[in-house]
């Protein structure tokens, strides 16, 4: 089979990271990029070793050489661009989020299926073998009762907000904010590990009110989501206005799994509880015969390689894209509800 020929929309660092993965995959070929102008498209294509810059979306949609498109543009335009390209018969791999809300995700996936192409979200932890390894270890810790997944880092763009300057990273018109940018990693990892919860409760810390023109309305800087599963709860913590130094933890009745980065696990431990003992208020052991094992994760400098591999396998019909599309759809349903509870409204809400 001939390599799948990719066009790339976007010229940011994340686009360059993806193009690196294309160069390392024999089943993929990078054709060229589309930027904000033809000059930017030409510069990015030349820098990244491409062959053909693209002037605009229609240029890509009508190009017979393009088989697939990687979209790394602002959140608010993911849907429109992906829909146009899928309708033109192009496979699309879209940076997270696949769209700004669940209704648009559902419509995009349905149209792609009608056109016989794949629409997939580029969500790194869902495709990372580290997440799969954690899932495979869950039976060893018994019935899971609680999990905590976290992703928080201070954004330099928050400095712009504090200084009264506009930034796309905190703008309802761009479908951004802490939940859409970082919280989504926690949400999708949760869905990949445990499936869809029965319901959720969201408590968000807002950095602007509904009447703030700079941010286009109320928008979040950090938040917590508690997902209820009946037999367990999952706590999600995310922030773009503080630095979270804690790790992730999954607690079962027989043991506990801990690991570092939710977007790309690199270090982890499996703690198995021994025999429980009574100790009341004394500072003595709670159990005897505990064991600890290191969880060995496959080292990878750029774990975008995994989402590319799975995308290509879906295009070739080797694996069913539904397994990944369902995670995206359920996750956006959860985030729609979280935004509703927090009072975060995007101008495009409800228009698929």
3-class secondary structure, 157: helix
pLDDT score recorded for residue 279: 67
Same domain assignment for residues 147 and 20? no
Q: Residue 49's domain is classified under what CATH number?
A: 3.40.50.720
The string of DSSP codes covering 330-348 is HHHHHHHHHHHHHT---TT
The predicted pLDDT at position 289 comes to 85
pLDDT, position 274: 86
Compute the 3-state secondary structure of the chain and give helix, strand, coil in percent, each to the nearest 5. 40, 25, 40
* Residue-level pLDDT at 54: 98
pLDDT in tens, the chain (352 residues): 799 999 999 999 999 999 999 999 999 999 999 999 999 999 999 999 999 999 999 999 999 999 999 999 999 999 999 999 999 999 999 999 999 999 999 999 999 999 999 999 999 999 999 999 999 999 999 999 999 999 999 999 999 999 999 999 999 999 999 999 999 999 999 999 999 999 999 999 999 999 999 999 999 999 999 999 999 999 999 999 999 999 999 999 999 999 999 999 999 999 999 888 876 566 555 778 889 999 999 889 999 999 999 999 999 999 999 999 999 999 999 999 999 999 999 998 977 6
Residue 148 belongs to some domain of the structure: yes
The Cα-based distances of 296 to 92, 138, 228 in angstroms read 33, 15, 30
> Are residues 116 and 263 both part of a single domain?
no
> Domain of 202: which CATH number?
3.30.360.10
Q: 57 and 139 share a domain?
A: no
Quote the DSSP letter at residue 174: G
Residues 138 and 79 in one domain: no
Q: Does residue 111 share a domain with residue 34? A: yes
Residue-range definition of the domain harbouring residue 278: 126-300+332-342
Residues 102 and 233 grouped into a single domain: no
Largest CA distance in the chain: 73
Q: Based on the domain organization, do 28 and 55 belong to the same domain?
A: yes
Give the angle subtended at the CA of 329 by the CAs of 171 and 113, to the nearest 5°. 115
Number of structural domains (the chain) is 2
Tell me, yes or no, whether 71 and 89 share the same domain.
yes
Residue 132 shares a structural domain with residue 166: yes
The per-residue pLDDT for 277 is 81
| Residues 275, 150 within the same domain | yes
Residues 42, 59, single domain; the answer is: yes
Kindly state whether residues 101 and 28 are assigned to the same domain.
yes
């Amino acid at each position: 089979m001939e390599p799948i020929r990719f066009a790339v929309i976007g010229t940011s660092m994340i686009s360059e990271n993806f193009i690196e993965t294309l160069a390392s995959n024999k089943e993929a070929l990078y054709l060229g990029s589309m930027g904000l102008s033809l000059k930017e498209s030409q510069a990015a294509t030349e820098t990244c070793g491409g062959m053909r810059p693209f002037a605009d979306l229609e240029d890509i949609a009508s190009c017979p050489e393009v088989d697939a498109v990687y979209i790394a543009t602002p959140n608010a335009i993911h849907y429109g661009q992906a829909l146009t390209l899928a309708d033109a018969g192009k496979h699309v791999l879209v940076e997270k989020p696949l769209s700004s809300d669940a209704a648009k995700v559902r419509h995009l996936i349905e149209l792609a299926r009608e056109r016989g192409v794949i629409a997939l979200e580029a969500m790194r932890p869902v495709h990372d073998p580290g997440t799969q390894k954690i899932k495979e270890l869950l039976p060893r810790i018994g019935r899971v009762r609680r999990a905590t997944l976290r992703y928080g880092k201070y954004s330099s763009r928050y400095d712009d907000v504090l200084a009264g300057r506009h930034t796309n990273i905190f703008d309802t018109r761009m479908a951004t904010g802490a939940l859409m940018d970082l919280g989504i990693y926690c949400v999708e990892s949760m869905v990949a590990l445990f499936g869809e919860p029965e319901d959720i409760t969201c408590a968000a810390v807002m950095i602007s009110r509904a009447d703030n023109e700079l941010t286009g309305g109320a928008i979040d800087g950090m938040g917590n989501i508690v997902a209820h599963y009946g037999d367990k709860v999952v706590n999600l913590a995310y922030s773009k206005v503080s630095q979270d130094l804690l790790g992730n933890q999954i607690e079962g009745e027989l043991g506990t799994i801990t690991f570092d980065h939710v977007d790309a696990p690199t270090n982890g431990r499996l703690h198995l509880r021994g025999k429980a003992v009574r100790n009341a208020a004394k500072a003595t052991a709670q159990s005897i015969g505990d064991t600890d094992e290191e969880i060995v994760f496959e080292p990878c400098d750029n774990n975008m390689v995994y989402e590319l591999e799975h995308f290509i396998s879906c295009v070739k019909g080797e694996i069913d894209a539904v397994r990944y599309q369902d995670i995206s759809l359920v996750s956006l349903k959860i985030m729609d509800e979280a935004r509703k509870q927090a009072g975060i409204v995007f101008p495009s809400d409800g228009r698929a």
